[in-house]
Amino acid sequence: MVYQLKILRGTGNVRFWQTFDSPCTCADSVARALEELNERTVLRDSAGQEAEPIAWECACLEKKCGACAMVIGGTPRLACATRLCEAADKGGCITLEPLKKFRRIRDLQVDRGEMFTALQEMELWLENDAELVEEERRALHYRAASCLMCGLCLEVCPNFSPGRTFAGAAAAAAAYRAFEPSAAGAHRETLRTQYRKRFFNDCAKSLACQDICPAQVPVEQLLVKTNAAAIWRRREKKHGAR
Ligand code: SF4
Ligand code: FES
């Protein structure tokens, strides 16, 4: 089968579709097909028109950095972890669009700065050394740390929209680690306030984030435990139960 990449291109409000024939095969990734287009001395679309190289982001090419997140065949995915035959329609066409919840820079490249700023503002750091003695806690920390900061969870989240305070599943994964009880200190009150404001108050628990996550971050398990540490214990204290 001859595959075609149909790419939503442009900057700002300028948007247009451009289609390219690809010599790549079923087992090749979408990332490889994009690389092949940009390696050509002169890039031409399927109609023979000369075209600019495609703007998109990648770094590791092995599902480790999250940079290649985009909408592939209508589903938010990582380009380096999606094979052409998984994403193509019956005619071999694969549509590629930038993530829609972030500001578009050009073509498939977006600015995910809003997600990183939210994480910074939540002050998700430990003020003391953590002692992870329990095997279960250690394993969960490891899984929380596997978040790629790709932003795919925000793309599908019904509660996240640009410019609002809700920080989404990436923040919940980082918050679980910051609420490690063995590292508690005075900073915990700031963490609690931030967690409530930037996650707990607006999360409707659709868990679309967990279904889409390419790193299989166990979002539900993490937020249940973080809610217990950040919200309920505080409430118990307030009501004199602890
Ligand atoms: S939680 Fe999953 S989908 Fe969200 S940023 Fe982390 S790796 Fe990506
Ligand atoms: S390029 Fe790093 S995850 Fe795809």
pLDDT by position in tens, the chain (length 242): 899 999 999 998 899 999 999 999 999 999 999 999 999 999 999 999 999 999 999 999 999 999 999 999 999 999 999 999 999 999 999 999 999 999 999 999 999 999 999 999 999 988 888 888 889 889 999 999 999 999 999 999 999 998 889 999 999 999 999 998 888 888 889 999 999 999 999 999 999 999 999 999 999 999 999 999 888 775 444 444 33
Distance 94 CA to ligand 1 centre (A): 23
Considering the domain 113-238 in this protein, what is its CATH number? Answer: 1.10.1060.10
69 C-beta closer than 6 A to ligand 2: no
Cα separation values, 60 from 9, 57, 64, 81, 145, Å: 23, 10, 6, 11, 17
- Please give the pLDDT value at position 185: 84
- Please give the pLDDT value at position 26: 96
Distance 180 CA to ligand 2 centre (A): 29
- Residues with Cβ within 8 Å of 30's Cβ and at least 6 positions away in sequence, in order, are 5, 72, 77, 79, 80, 82, 83, 84, 87, 94, 96
Dist CA 33 CA 25 (whole Å)? 9
- Please give the pLDDT value at position 240: 41
- The residue ranges of every structural domain in the chain are 3-111, 113-238
149 C-beta closer than 6 A to ligand 1: yes
Dist CA 93 CA 82 (whole Å)? 14
Quick one: tokens of 62?
Answer: 């092995």
- Please give the pLDDT value at position 151: 96
60 C-beta closer than 6 A to ligand 2: yes
- Please give the pLDDT value at position 239: 40
Angle (deg, nearest 10), helices 135-144 and 168-178: 150
**Amino acid found at 239:** H
- Please give the pLDDT value at position 24: 98
Distance 135 CA to ligand 2 centre (A): 30
Distance 68 CA to ligand 1 centre (A): 12
Quick one: tokens of 226?
Answer: 């973080």
Considering the domain 3-111 in this protein, what is its CATH number? Answer: 3.10.20.30
Return the ligand number nearest the Cα of 34. Answer: 2
